[in-house]
Chains A and B, each alone.
Chain A
Amino acid sequence: MNRHLISAGDLSKDDALLILDTAEELARVSERSIKKLPTLRGRTVVNLFFEDSTRTRISFEAAAKRLSADVINFSAKGSSVSKGESLKDTALTLEAMGADAVVIRHGSSGAPHRLANWVHGSVVNAGDGTHEHPTQALLDAFSMRRRLGALDGRKVTIVGDVLHSRVARSNVLLLHTLGAEVTLVAPPTLLPVSVHTWPCEVSYDLDTVLAKSDVVMMLRVQKERMNAAYFPSEREYSRRYGLDRARFAKMPDDAIVMHPGPMNRGMEIAAEVADSSRSTIVEQVANGVTIRMAVLYLLLGGETA
């Protein structure tokens, strides 16, 4: 495996399966009374968050602590960054503190890639701009595999704001590597211009795709980014691209519903769909800690280069 995890596209099928298999064993640790392993004792993991993301940060923090690593949380607000420090100077500061891994969330696409050139430790991308969020894709694949078995030939439909979604891009790349067939469904205004170069299908009609899907993943409508009239009204979006009860009924009986959270109930997903037994939304959170443990173990558990 690579020393860093920047893009889901960097993972070979063997790498991806190793992470999923490792997570499968680590999931058992979460079920025991002592949920801690001594593996990363004496290693330091820095959570470097330039954007707020409580759930991703605490997920990485829990994962690192369960492996006995020391965790330093560094958020941009109220730090030297708000005083104008550059990313590179921040990186050198972390380097001097002896960080073995830096988990970075940044508003600019490509920031983790830059950071990886400046620090000696491993860099884990926890979301950069509208680019990628590889651990989210890994936990989604892990959640799918736990419910459905191997992903070869499975049909996954990703619905919603693909344009602003790092989750969608990472998922498309990883699921393609794992042999699944991905279809993106979105209004044309919410698809990136380059989407035809992605290894997936594109559709504008949710109803025809639903009936053939093993997995339906709903993306959050990011209201904070909806400033350019991408669709006429929330109501119209919800009618055409929301997963309501009627659409849910059209899905195959064993198909599952996913959402990376936080969700807008009543907008992209109906409350009763989100709470149904075929929804993996709560599992995805637990699986997030497990998959991040697997990633940290595989990046930091062995010899250091």
Chain B
Amino acid sequence: MSESRAVLEGPDIHRALTRIAHEILERTKGADEVVLLGIPTRGAPLARRLGDRIEEFEGVKIPVGSIDITMYRDDLRLKPARPLGRTELPADGIDGKIVVLVDDVLYSGRTVRAALDALNDLGRPTAVQLATLVDRGHRELPIRADYVGKNLPTAKSEKVRVFLRETDGRDAVILMKGGAE
């Protein structure tokens, strides 16, 4: 077993999400037109937490949903067919809204590209922004995040795993050294 260490613990994740919520409110001038869409698996609970946080601060209820990107992936043919996640749009849809995509880790950017394609089939937002809990670098496409919980310099051989209460029973971001599975 190779070494691994926690780069974010529960309270750090809480603080990072609080800051992102404030930044979204600031950048979108009160978040009136904002729709939060989490990318399954772990983006979906993160989007719900951000929605709760924004409601707490400003008293406005932000529509929250999820957008599964499995069918839009560019690496489908490299692995056996995978199970699908859930796509759940708010009742009012996304036309004319500011969509903030929410994911746990931003890495190659390919997931976000797939999400942009998926969005294209679902409606026409006025703008699309990206929030991520961890940005670990090594982009393979011209994509950047608008809101970042933590910039985490990593080697390509390392792995970043995010654990969330809703899906894993605890909150943590773990960096695993090269070769760890």
Interface residues of A (CB under 8 A from B): 1, 18, 21-22, 25-26, 28, 32, 34, 36-39, 67, 297-304
- Can you add 12 more A-B contacts, CB < 8 Å, to A39-B72, A297-B81, A302-B81? A21-B84, A22-B83, A22-B84, A25-B84, A34-B122, A37-B72, A67-B71, A298-B81, A299-B81, A303-B77, A303-B78, A303-B80
A222 to B86, CA, bound (A): 41
Out of B77, B79, B86, B121, name the residue touching A32 (CB < 8 Å). Answer: B121
Within 8 A of A (CB), among B66-82: 68, 71-72, 76-82
B-side interface mostly? loop
A297 to B77, CA, bound (A): 11
Find out whether the CB atom of B83 lies under 8 angstroms from the CB atom of A18.
yes
Find out whether the CB atom of B86 lies under 8 angstroms from the CB atom of A302.
no
Report the count of interface residues on B (CB-CB < 8 A).
18
Find out whether the CB atom of A38 lies under 8 angstroms from the CB atom of B81.
no
Interface residues of B (CB under 8 A from A): 68, 71-72, 76-87, 117, 121-122
A18 to B68, CA, bound (A): 16
Contacts of B82 in A (CB 8 A): 302
A38 to B78, CA, bound (A): 16
Find out whether the CB atom of B80 lies under 8 angstroms from the CB atom of A25.
no
Find out whether the CB atom of B86 lies under 8 angstroms from the CB atom of A25.
yes
> Lowest 7 A-B CB distances belong to which pairs?
A302-B81, A301-B81, A302-B80, A25-B84, A39-B71, A37-B71, A34-B121
Contacts of A25 in B (CB 8 A): 68, 84-87
Contacts of A39 in B (CB 8 A): 71-72, 76
B55 to chain A, nearest CB (A): 26
Contacts of B68 in A (CB 8 A): 25
Known A32-B122, A302-B77; contact A38-B117, beta-carbon cutoff 8 A: yes
Closest to B86 in A: A25
A187 to chain B, nearest CB (A): 43
Contacts of B79 in A (CB 8 A): 302-303
